[in-house]
């Protein structure tokens, strides 16, 4: 999506920089390794204090990676808490906070580096389940045919009695207003014209992943 956004501004080359998910914000704001985070990062009030988010790029429900047959009947963070299960999450991802806010003790939570590590932890029995977006987990499973795991149906988590809408966006350094304005203009145009869906569908996204008018960056930041 970032390539499509910047192609509209005749930027000939994008240089991807690969880092662990938990290093994205420090790499942007402190080390200045890159100019934009394009990793599907969810917009949260905590992150809004450190980076400037674009308009929402997509919404995605949370799901769980579980052993085939889902023997523990996992479907929510409350299930993980009530069954005292071992949960794997992506280091730096919002699922860690969802888990803590749902009352899952920190010692039961494993923070791992990438999606492959989540899959292996569940497949090998080192974790009872893993939490991430349904799109990301399905993508990881598609790359590992024959793995003895499955992905549960996705839903937006309920934390503290409130449904948390998970929406991802691009992120820039605070003050990079020209860059962010350009991204916002093109992203809105692509979502409105159908170009966004054409690009995203091969990666498992559908019409339901396009943010509705009520999903805004200000709202997600708690403003």
Predicted confidence (pLDDT) per residue in 15-70, tens digit: 999 999 889 999 999 999 999 999 999 999 999 999 999 999 999 889 999 999 99
Q: Which residue has the tokens 């992506």?
A: 90
- Residue pair 107/99 in contact (Cβ under 8 Å)? The answer is no
Mean pLDDT over the full length of the chain: 94
- How much of the chain exceeds pLDDT 70, in percent? 100
Rounded distance, CA 57 to CA 48, Å?
15
The model's pLDDT over 150-203, given as tens digits with 9 standing for 90+, comes to 999 988 899 888 888 889 999 999 999 999 999 999 999 999 999 999 999 988
d(CA 56, CA 40): 10
Name the band, by pLDDT with cuts 50, 70 and 90, for residue 103.
Answer: very high
pLDDT, average across residues 133-161: 91
| pTM of the complete model | 0.74
Between CA 9 and CA 180 the distance in angstroms is: 13
pLDDT of amino acid 163: 87
Categorize the per-residue pLDDT at 78 as very low, low, confident or very high, splitting at 50, 70 and 90. very high
Question: Is 80 exceeded by the pLDDT of residue 223?
Answer: no
Domains and CATH numbers, the chain: 2-59+166-221 (3.40.190.10), 62-163 (3.40.190.10)
Amino acid 148: pLDDT:
97
Q: Tell me, what's the pLDDT at 161?
A: 87
């Amino acid at each position: 999506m970032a390539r499509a956004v910047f192609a509209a501004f005749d930027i000939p080359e994008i240089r991807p920089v690969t880092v662990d998910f938990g290093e994205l914000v420090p790499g942007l704001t402190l080390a200045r390794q890159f100019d934009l985070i394009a990793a599907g990062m969810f917009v949260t009030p905590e992150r809004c204090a450190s980076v400037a988010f674009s308009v929402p790029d997509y919404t995605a429900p949370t799901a769980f990676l579980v052993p085939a047959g889902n023997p523990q009947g996992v479907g929510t963070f409350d299930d993980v808490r009530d069954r005292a299960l071992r949960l794997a999450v992506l280091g730096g991802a919002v699922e860690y906070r969802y888990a803590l806010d749902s009352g899952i003790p920190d010692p039961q939570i494993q923070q791992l580096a990438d999606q492959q590590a989540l899959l292996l932890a569940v497949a090998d029995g080192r974790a009872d389940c893993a939490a991430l977006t349904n799109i990301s987990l399905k993508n990881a499973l598609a790359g590992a045919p024959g793995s003895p795991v499955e992905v549960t149906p996705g839903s937006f988590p309920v934390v503290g009695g409130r449904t948390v809408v998970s929406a991802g966006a691009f992120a820039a350094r605070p003050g990079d207003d020209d860059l962010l304005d350009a991204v916002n203009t093109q992203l809105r145009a692509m979502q409105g014209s159908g170009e966004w869906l054409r690009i995203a569908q091969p990666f498992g996204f559908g019409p339901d992943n396009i943010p509705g008018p009520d999903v805004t960056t200000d709202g997600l930041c708690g403003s």
